[in-house]
C-alpha cells in the first residue's frame, strides 16, 4: 500500500532544497551588484570617473622592455592615471599592428559613462583586425544625450587604450578585468620602437590629448588612442603592480 504521507514528505524536502539553492543564487547576485555605481577602490588617491590625470614628461629617458617576439624601446611622454568603467577588453591578435608591444585594448569610459543605464544601453564592438570601436545597442543615442551635449563630449570621455603591462603581475591584473568592472590604471603614455626577432621594426606614439579626432561611430583615427605602459592596475580583483 502506497504511503502518500511519506511520498509528500520526500517532495517537500526536495522543494525546500530547491528554494534554498535559489535563495543562495539570488543572494550572491545581490552581493556582486551592491555598489555597482559607487565602487571606491581602496588605496587609490583619485576620484572615480574623474578626468584622467596627466603630467607631461620632458626628455623622457627610453628603456628596453622585452616583449613577445622581440624587444621594445619605450620612451615615456607623460605620467598617466585613469579611473573609469571597462566597456570592452580585447586581446590583440599577433598579426595586428603593435600586438607584441600592446597585447590588450581596453575601452574605458569616465564622466557620464559612469551611469548604469548608459552601460546597459551601450554595446562596444572592437574589431579583431584593426584598432577601432563602435557603439551598438537599442536607444544608446538617447541615453548618451542625457549626459553629453555633443559628440565632442562623448569622444572626450570615452577612451580606447592600448595596454603594455610592465610585468607579469600587471598582466595578470589586466587579464582578470571584465566588462562593467571599475578600474584604476596608472603608468606612462609612451612612444615606442619595436625590434622584432624576425627583423621587422615598428614605431608608434600615444595620443597625449583628449581632443584629437576620436570617433565613437567608427574608426577612431590614427594616433588618437592612448598607448599606456601600465605599472599598476586596481579593480575588484585586486591591486596588481
* pTM beyond cutoff 0.75: yes
Domain residue ranges in the chain: 1-34, 53-240
**CA-wise closest residue to 170 among 102, 94, 85, 77:** 102
| 3-class secondary-structure state, position 197 | coil
Residue where the block lists cell 610592465: 166
Give the pLDDT of the chain (241 residues) as one tens digit per residue. 445 445 555 656 667 777 777 777 766 665 555 444 445 677 899 999 999 999 999 999 999 999 999 999 999 999 999 999 999 998 888 777 789 999 999 999 999 999 888 888 888 877 665 556 677 776 788 888 889 998 889 889 999 999 999 999 999 999 999 999 999 999 999 999 999 999 999 999 999 988 775 444 333 334 578 999 999 999 999 999 9
Q: Are strands 70-91 and 238-240 parallel, antiparallel or unpaired?
A: unpaired
d(CA 119, CA 133): 15
Amino acid at each position: 500500500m502506497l504511503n502518500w504521507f511519506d511520498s509528500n514528505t520526500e517532495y517537500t524536502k526536495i522543494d525546500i532544497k530547491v528554494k534554498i539553492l535559489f535563495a543562495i543564487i539570488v543572494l550572491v547576485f545581490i552581493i556582486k551588484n551592491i555598489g555597482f555605481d559607487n565602487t571606491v577602490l581602496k588605496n587609490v588617491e583619485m576620484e572615480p570617473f574623474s578626468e584622467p590625470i596627466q603630467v607631461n614628461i620632458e626628455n623622457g629617458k627610453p628603456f628596453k622592455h622585452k616583449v613577445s617576439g622581440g624587444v621594445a624601446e619605450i620612451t615615456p611622454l607623460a605620467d598617466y592615471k585613469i579611473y573609469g568603467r571597462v566597456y570592452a577588453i580585447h586581446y590583440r591578435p599577433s598579426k595586428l599592428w603593435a600586438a607584441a608591444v600592446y597585447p590588450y585594448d581596453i575601452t574605458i569610459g569616465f564622466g557620464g559613462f559612469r551611469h548604469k543605464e548608459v552601460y546597459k544601453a551601450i554595446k562596444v564592438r572592437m574589431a579583431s583586425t584593426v584598432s577601432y570601436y563602435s557603439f551598438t545597442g537599442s536607444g544608446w543615442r538617447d541615453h548618451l544625450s542625457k549626459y553629453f551635449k555633443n559628440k565632442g563630449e562623448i569622444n572626450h570621455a570615452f577612451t580606447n587604450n592600448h595596454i603594455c603591462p610592465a610585468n607579469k603581475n600587471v598582466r595578470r591584473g589586466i587579464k582578470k578585468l571584465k566588462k562593467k568592472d571599475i578600474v584604476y590604471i596608472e603608468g606612462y603614455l609612451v612612444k615606442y620602437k619595436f625590434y622584432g626577432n624576425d627583423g621587422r621594426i615598428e614605431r608608434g606614439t600615444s595620443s597625449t590629448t583628449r581632443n584629437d579626432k576620436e570617433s565613437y561611430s567608427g574608426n577612431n583615427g590614427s594616433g588618437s588612442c592612448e598607448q599606456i605602459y601600465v605599472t599598476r592596475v586596481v579593480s575588484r580583483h585586486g591591486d596588481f603592480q
